[in-house]
Amino acid sequence: MNRKEIHRMIRFLFVGASNTLVGYLSYLLFIWMMSSFEFRYDYIIAGILSFVVSIHWAFVLNKIFVFQTSEWRQTAKKELLKSYIAYGFSGLVLNNILLYIFIDLCGISKYFAPILVLFFLVPFNYLVNKYWVYGIKSAPEADRTE
């Protein structure tokens, strides 16, 4: 693995951490905005809206800082759609499958299992973003360091 790839992975982790914070804060903001309506399922709407906010946040930061693709007009819509598909799959489908396996089949605490899930989802999301969403090819041999 070359130095450039390691730096890219580190940037991806920072974007992910900031995305977690943005997603949670936007969730709290939407809950607060709907508090006067006394809507029973406000957390569901807040969850959906914060998901949309966090996908956009992650998309922009990944595009600029992690994968450093500069083409916006021709590729942004396609990449954003792919981001929604990727994070929708990993965040909804894969996350819940892994939680089921860890909690129901392995007997791991429901409070600890989500932390274990991250060890699977973070590398999965990195690879999906790198190769599918942004179409980054492997580094040339000249860039590799031993």
What is the residue extent of each domain of the chain?
Answer: 3-137
Nearest to 59 by CA among 78, 73, 44, 35: 78
Name the least confident of 49-53, 72-76, 133-137. Answer: 72-76
pLDDT value of residue 145: 44
Q: What gap in Å lies between CA 60 and CA 69, rounded to an integer? A: 10
User: How many angstroms separate the CA atoms of 11 and 3, rounded?
Assistant: 12
Q: Are 53 and 15 in contact (CB under 8 A)?
A: no
- Residue 135 backbone zone (phi > 0: left; psi -120 to 50: alpha; other: beta): left
Please tell me which residue, 41 or 54, carries the higher pLDDT value: 54
Classify burial at 50, counting beta carbons within 10 Å of its beta carbon; exposed 0-12, middle 13-18, buried 19 or more. Answer: buried
pLDDT digits (tens, 9 = 90+) for 1-26: 799 999 999 999 999 999 999 999 99
Whether 74 shows a pLDDT value over 80: the answer reads: no
Tell me the whole-structure pTM to 2 decimals: 0.79
- Residue 146 to residue 132: CA distance in whole angstroms: 27
Q: Residue 64 above 70 pLDDT?
A: yes
